[in-house]
Amino acid sequence: MSSYFEPSDFLKQGVDVPDAAFVGEPIVVANEFTAVALQKVAMRQGERVLLKVMPDGSSLLLDAMQLEAITRLRPEDFSRLLARNLGVE
């Protein structure tokens, strides 16, 4: 996927984060179903991680507490989340 776009440019498109500075290079995690770009963002309120889905451009900023909460989820929590988001429930 990374052969036809520059992830850092893609991350900045359509993301409204005033006074933010993108830190370092983006990371792309992909499989046969999707690709997500991640980048650290320094903001006035502290650091965040920007996640942006490459096929549709949806994005989300997460702070350290939100990321920590994700680490406490169990595999079955992710299964329910995926089922709900994909309309399987």
pLDDT per residue over 63-83, tens digit each? 999 999 999 999 898 888 888
Is the per-residue pLDDT at 8 higher than 60?
no
Q: 27 - beta bridge partners? A: 38
Coil, strand or helix: which one is 67? helix
pTM of the predicted structure, to 2 decimals? 0.71
Contact (CB, 8 A) for 69 and 89: no
Average pLDDT over residues 16-38: 84
pLDDT band at 24 (very low <50, low <70, confident <90, very high): confident
